[in-house]
Amino acid sequence: MSLISLKEILADAESRNYAVGLFNCAGTDSLKAIIRGAEECNSPVILGIAEVHMPYAPVDLMAPMMVDAAKRAKVPVTVHLDHGQNFETIIKTMKYGFTSVMFDGSVLEYDENIKKTREIVKIAKALGISVEAELGHVGGAEGGGSDEHEEYYTEPEKALDFVNQTEIDALAIAIGTAHGEYVKKPCLDVNRLSEINAKVDVPLVLHGGSGLSDDDFRECIKRGIRKINIFTDMSYAAAEGLRKLLEQKKKFHCFELSEVAEEYMKKVVMKKIRLFGSDSKA
The pLDDT of residue 211 is: 74
Domains of the chain: 6-276 (3.20.20.70)
The pLDDT of residue 179 is: 54
Choose the weakest-confidence range: 17-26, 100-109, 137-146, 203-212.
137-146
The pLDDT of residue 129 is: 98
Contact by Cβ (8 Å): 229, 251: no
Residue 229 above 70 pLDDT? yes
How many residues does the structure list for the chain? 282
Q: What is the pLDDT of residues 70-90, one digit of tens each?
A: 999 999 999 999 999 999 999
pLDDT band at residue 149 under the 50/70/90 scheme: low
State percent of the chain over pLDDT 90: 85
Annotated catalytic residue within 29, 82, 104, 233: 82
Q: What is the pLDDT of residues 25-34, one digit of tens each?
A: 999 999 999 9
Model confidence, pTM:
0.93
Residue 23 above 70 pLDDT? yes
Residue 82 falls in the annotated catalytic set:
yes
